[in-house]
Amino acid sequence: MNYIIPVEKEIDFTRAEKAMISTYKWTEGYAPEAYAQLMCVEGKGFALRMTAMESNPKAIYTKFDEPVYKDSCLEFFVSFNPANEKYMNFEMNSNGAFLAAVRTDRQNKKSIKMLAPLPKVKATKDENSWTVEVFLSNDFIGKTFGKFSFKRGESFKGNFYKCGDETEIPHFGMWAPIDLESPDFHRPEFFGTFTIEE
């Protein structure tokens, strides 16, 4: 799958296409509409907005590095630098709590907590949906991936997810499909391609 990232001077999500998180696997009975939007802010970094159509999302956790995937959760997995095998999982609930690590696979990880200042997640809720927004600066990306700048025409890999491991109805949704028999988002071989718009 492919996703085109628009380049802007400022953050304006109206120009960013919606990557629909519409493939639900491994469980049945609940598949909320969800989508992600990703933008490249020229010379500064990447702005991400993710939205789920849920009126009452489970949201127990409130602090950084807590297991928000047990709540109703929106997730961005990304490998910003094609020159190495690292990827980052960035997982958020509707309280704005998040956890993130840089990894090569599920077991081999390093928390981002030493990379101050940490990104801030802005969370909003209304009666029908909830949204999270975060800005990942080029400096933050450079410290984690060794790549500090991005140009039009460049590509990298990633995926968008919607899950809730311990919600009333556990669910596992994705933008780029994962062809496995059991739940596992930590499989970069199934990441889709993100291309910065020329």
Domain positions in the chain are 2-196
Structure token pair of residue 9: 């001077």
Yes or no: say if 79 and 157 are a contact pair by the CB < 8 Å rule.
yes
- Can you give the pLDDT at residue 198? 67
The CATH code for residues 2-196 is 2.60.40.1190
Structure token pair of residue 13: 């999500």
In Å, how far from its chain's centre is CA 114? 20
Mean pLDDT of 22-35: 95
Q: What percent of the chain has pLDDT over 70?
A: 99
What distance in Å separates the CA atoms of residue 10 and residue 175, rounded to the nearest whole number?
A: 26
Mean pLDDT of 165-184: 96
Q: How many CB atoms lie within 10 A of CB 155?
A: 12
Q: Where are the alpha helices (DSSP H) in the chain?
A: 138-145
What distance in Å separates the CA atoms of residue 85 and residue 79, rounded to the nearest whole number?
A: 7
Q: What is the pLDDT of residues 63-77, one digit of tens each?
A: 999 999 999 999 999
Mean pLDDT of 22-27: 95
Contacts of 184 (CB under 8 A, 6+ apart): 106, 178
CA distances from 121 to 49, 142, 189 (A): 10, 19, 27
Model confidence band, residue 175 (pLDDT cutoffs 50, 70, 90): very high
- Can you give the pLDDT at residue 192? 98
Model confidence band, residue 114 (pLDDT cutoffs 50, 70, 90): confident
Q: What is the pLDDT of residues 128-163, one digit of tens each?
A: 999 999 999 999 999 999 999 999 999 999 999 999
Choice between 172 and 113, residue whose per-residue pLDDT is larger: 172
What's the whole-number average pLDDT of the chain?
Answer: 96
